[in-house]
A and B are shown apart, each in its own frame.
Chain A
Amino acid sequence: MKDEVTREERLDNLKGMGCSRKRVEDARFTQGKGNYVDDIKLDGMLFGDFVRTPYAHARIKNIDTSAAMQVPGVLAVLTAADLEPLGLHWMPTLAGDKQMVLADGKVLFQGQEVAFVVAEDRYAAADGIEAVEVDYEDLPVIVDPFESLQSDVVLREDLVAEDGSIPDGAHGPRTHPNHIFTWEAGDKQTTEEVLANAEIVAEESMYYHRTHPCPLETCGCVASMDKVNGKLTLWGTFQAPHAIRTVVSLISGIEEHNIRVISPDIGGGFGNKVGAYPGYVCSVVASIVTGKPVKWIEDRMDNLISTAFARDYWMKGRISATKEGKITGLHCHVTADHGGFDACADPTKFPAGFMNICTGSYDIPTAYLEVDGVYTNKAPGGVSYRCSFRVTEAVYFIERMIEVLAIKLNMDAAELRRVNFIRKEQFPYKAALGWEYDSGDYHTAWDKALKTVDYDGLRAEQAQRIEDFKAGKTRKLMGIGLSFFTEIVGAGPVKNCDILGLGMFDSCEIRIHPTGSAIARLGTISQGQGHATTFAQILASEIGLPADSITIEEGDTDTAPYGLGTYGSRSTPVAGAATAMAGRKIRAKAQMIAAYLLEVHDNDVEFDVDRFVVKGAPERFKTMKEVAFAAYNQAIPGIEPGLEAVSYYDPPNMTYPFGAYVCVMDIDVDTGVPDIRRFYALDDCGTRINPMIIEGQVHGGLTEALAVALGQEIAYDDMGNVKTGTLMDFFLPTAWEVPNYETDYTVTPSPHHPIGAKGVGESPHVGGVPCFSNAVQDAFRAFGNTHTNMPHDHWRIWKTANELGLHG
């Protein structure tokens, strides 16, 4: 056969890595043809919903379900007393704590699950909830973690011994009944010495407020116990379906092969859907009790007030430097408010996640970090909202400390960053708090960013604006927000990354069909990231079949290989690597088959785009499509029929994406209204698989960063009431509030990843939050501002202006 197609055309035909292939998922999403958990309807399906406590801390004296049982359509009302004989009234959390499934004698936060009403439909369930009578006795409420550590009020009596002593927790000794853990990294003594002897020390305390991932689709599940064959099927909004299967098996005693967990289409996760929630347990129990499928779907308020929050870190920093601005040491203490139960979703050995990435992108020789986890009367959680574990907190901390140090040194903050960046030749770089950064070229990225935005021009304009303001010519100030971030993603190496003992490898299984198409299944699960598009591109480049001929399937534990799911930007670094490795196994076998067909030795053929070519004789080749057919249908001596491969990938290291962001903002001093004039985002995520999807991810992450920096919070009053439980007060930006984003990139591949990719989904959030915040703070720098806490909503910006005397 004469080949009339050019090599370029063959490459284009693959739609492999590096091309902006359109998302294959969008055909169904844009036509309303997605299949989300609430779309699942089964014969005889019941609906369960929760009675939730209005009190943040109270003893439960009695629960009377009799009136509820009289409500038409209500079939059962479960309380802790019903779950206790099954041992299911409490459940383990991912952080090694345990959590009440249904209130066991007391409640610890407003919105906590008290009883589960099972009814024929959700309307009857709602009426049943109204009819459940709960007799509460108020207890003192603690919403402040510092107060909690001083208080005589014990929140968790279950964690205090009968003699009043305080047993160790999952992460070591505890110092107070309301204390969860102390976790440290780095060298305390040397850091103190460096700080004590430093030429310059800057200090700042900052509160990274509590917020919530708030995916558009709330959490939910459908549990269906088939009593005939003993199999439990659980559909749900799970970011880690295999982990859910294992956890369900461990706590229910149902053998793992009898449990099938399915994550259908998921409408955003952002960390909110990693953990296990009481709704899952209650739905399973209710299905076992009733013998019918049971659906549970949160409404928006349920989601905001009870499922996993993010952040809530009180951070105190000290940073030292020479007079010239070379940083010599960093000290960070965090008081972490975990709410009523410790339900953080971190690798087990890291109760504060990867907060120890808080030395950031800088060559800081000495550092120390200490984190104290504390119980309060707030909802449990502490998940990584569009970031790797606590990385947004870490990057916010260091990017604020850099600005504070720049003020102390009276130095330009861009220049201060430049003189302290880890240099290109220092990689792999061992940071003071333990991590080994894989690769980076920070100076190149920074210079490109500053040049593109004309940084010097912006500073000149800002200086003029300050003069004009002082002269009464304008009431608007100009802020230039800078941030340079290094993420740590792709958890992770099994030697130090596990969740409840489950190693954080990931997987890919590929079957090539005889006619040259393929299906690949992964242990991850897309929640909008476009896995079906991008993983097919990786495979297309690796095995030489067009991406359009490759189906990607995820989320069904009966068919997909075991994996730890999608969060922490781990899909590309871990499952993406597994995909490439499995593809290479396919290619290795295919090469042998091709060599046989071409009647040459294995080593005499080489892979070229979509075919194997005899070295030195390019007219002699076999396409991968031809090889696939032969693999199944031709007897080849010494080679098994078929063309399949599976790879379980345990990454040797994390990956470290980075980026340089600049925000230009005008602030109306009199109303506190900020106007984002420009936002420039340069991301380096290593090898770029699909530039269009990267750009979309950057836009989305920046928008969630804008939300968090400028207004999004879960706020409580002193009585533990959630003040922001609906979208009226909880800020979700729309197209109206979002500026135009300019995206840019450099490419510094990861040296240890098979295709050099690092992950990108969360970088823009991590880098975006400090960038927006720094812009607000920078606007007021000339008037004496050092630091103000987020969220920078109108009134807080106004308050800053007011306190600086700018309102005359």
Chain B
Amino acid sequence: MIPAAFEYYRPKDMAGVLSLLEQHGDDARVMAGGHSLIPMMKLRMAEVPHLIDLQDVGGMSDIDIDADSIRIGAMVTQADIIDHADLADVAPILREAALQIADPQVRYMGTVGGNVANGDPGNDMPGLMQCLDAQFTLVGSGGERSVRARAFYEAAYMTAREDDEVLTAVKIPLPEGGYAYEKQKRKIGDYATAAAAVQIVNDGGTCAAASIAMTNLSDTPIYSEAAGAALVGTSVDDAAIKTAVAAMLGDIDPSEDNRGPVAFKKHVAGVILRRTIERAWSRA
């Protein structure tokens, strides 16, 4: 559990970060909270000859809420999310999900940016951001661009971020309606056996919009457009939920691990999604 030797950098601004990235290419990695990257380095599963610590860069630790969107800096921690009262008012699903990530010690260090940028299919924030249709801000030597969370994840640890880019912020349109984040896990600190994020709008007893994403049931988070669509226009009755669950099951592709075989995971994914929809709808 000792990482290979690496150079450690702590630049004071983004220009310094970008120039290091330019210089070292894919031999360099940026680090926010370090709670995914450092264990990988200690296990020598990730070799990072040049490690760039972002904590002195500044400008990435704020949560800004305006009339129609939320901007969360990449260095905002899970604990910051949990403690932010205004955020809990406008987007309570963020707090509900953050409380289910790891344990308090990890949440004090682990960041939103690191969680979404690392591309680990076990992380909770990527699926949540897909559910909320977030945009990720990427800054590189060529300037700034935005990528939808729903288009960001390509495979496990493979994302649309280029090697010389840094994910600096997450922008989320203000969510509407009822919400729920449900996660089944073996124990505190574990990745999900199955987790579901649901945001749903109730218009006089009829579902007007529904957004559904699943975590750790494929090598990327799964935004199931079909599952959401199956609820729209219905009263979210048993038949509609069954259709939504079936649609979701068509989108996921879990693999066997110590949590259990595929059949179990699919079954649990269905149960968890049903419960998440029911709870979100009850709040809508």
Task: Give the interface size class of chain A.
Answer: 20 to 34
How far apart sit A767 and B67, CA to CA, in the bound complex (Å)? 60
How far apart sit A732 and B264, CA to CA, in the bound complex (Å)? 23
How far apart sit A776 and B119, CA to CA, in the bound complex (Å)? 37
Task: Verify B184–A736 contact, CB threshold 8 A.
Answer: no
Given contacts A127-B4, A731-B186, contact A671 B268 (CB under 8 A): yes
B residues in contact with A210, CB < 8 Å: none
Does A798 interact with chain B (Cβ within 8 Å)? yes
The secondary structure that dominates the B interface is loop
Does A5 interact with chain B (Cβ within 8 Å)? no
Task: Verify A123–B2 contact, CB threshold 8 A.
Answer: yes
Interface centre among B187, B189, B190 (most CB of A within 10 A): B187
Q: Which of B202-222 touch A at CB < 8 Å?
A: none
Given contacts A300-B1, A734-B188, A799-B264, contact A715 B258 (CB under 8 A): yes
Q: How many B residues face the partner with a CB closer than 8 A?
A: 23
Measured between C-beta atoms, what is the minimum distance from B144 to chain A in Å?
36
Does B193 interact with chain A (Cβ within 8 Å)? yes
A residues in contact with B44, CB < 8 Å: 130
Q: Which of B1-48 touch A at CB < 8 Å?
A: 1-2, 4-5, 44
Measured between C-beta atoms, what is the minimum distance from B268 to chain A in Å?
5
B residues in contact with A807, CB < 8 Å: 267
Q: Which of B239-276 touch A at CB < 8 Å?
A: 258-261, 264, 267-268, 271-272
How far apart sit A793 and B2, CA to CA, in the bound complex (Å)? 31
Point out the residue from A127, A672, A794, A802 that lies within 8 Å of B5, measured CB to CB. A127
How far apart sit A251 and B103, CA to CA, in the bound complex (Å)? 47
Measured between C-beta atoms, what is the minimum distance from B284 to chain A in Å?
23
Task: Verify B190–A728 contact, CB threshold 8 A.
Answer: yes
Given contacts A671-B268, A671-B271, A794-B193, contact A122 B2 (CB under 8 A): yes
Point out the residue from A126, A724, A736 that lies within 8 Å of B258, measured CB to CB. A724
Point out the residue from B1, B4, B103, B272 that lies within 8 Å of A299, measured CB to CB. B1
Task: Verify B258–A729 contact, CB threshold 8 A.
Answer: yes
Q: Which of A729-749 touch B at CB < 8 Å?
A: 729, 731, 733-734, 736-737
Interface flags, A778-806, vs B, CB<8A=1, else 0: 00000000000000011100110010000
Measured between C-beta atoms, what is the minimum distance from A279 to chain B in Å?
15
Task: Verify B258–A723 contact, CB threshold 8 A.
Answer: yes
B residues in contact with A793, CB < 8 Å: 186, 260
Nearest A residue to B2 by beta-carbon distance? A126
B residues in contact with A734, CB < 8 Å: 103, 187-189
A residues in contact with B187, CB < 8 Å: 711, 731, 733-734, 736-737
Does A497 interact with chain B (Cβ within 8 Å)? no
Does A602 interact with chain B (Cβ within 8 Å)? no
Nearest A residue to B5 by beta-carbon distance? A127
Does A673 interact with chain B (Cβ within 8 Å)? yes
Task: Verify B188–A737 contact, CB threshold 8 A.
Answer: yes
Interface centre among A127, A728, A802 (most CB of B within 10 A): A728
B residues in contact with A799, CB < 8 Å: 264
Does A670 interact with chain B (Cβ within 8 Å)? yes
B residues in contact with A731, CB < 8 Å: 186-187
B residues in contact with A729, CB < 8 Å: 258
How far apart sit A125 and B5, CA to CA, in the bound complex (Å)? 12
Identify the B interface with A (CB < 8 A): 1-2, 4-5, 44, 103, 184, 186-191, 193, 258-261, 264, 267-268, 271-272
Given contacts A671-B272, A729-B258, 20 further A-B contacts (CB under 8 A): A122-B2, A123-B2, A125-B2, A127-B4, A127-B5, A130-B44, A300-B1, A301-B1, A671-B184, A671-B268, A671-B271, A673-B184, A728-B190, A733-B187, A734-B189, A793-B186, A793-B260, A798-B267, A798-B268, A802-B267
What are 22 A-to-B residue pairs whose CB atoms are below 8 Å?
A: A123-B5, A126-B4, A299-B1, A670-B271, A671-B184, A671-B271, A671-B272, A672-B264, A711-B186, A711-B187, A727-B189, A729-B258, A731-B187, A734-B103, A734-B188, A736-B188, A737-B187, A793-B186, A794-B184, A795-B261, A795-B264, A798-B260
8 nearest A-B residue pairs (beta carbon): A795-B260, A126-B2, A299-B1, A736-B188, A795-B264, A670-B271, A729-B258, A734-B188
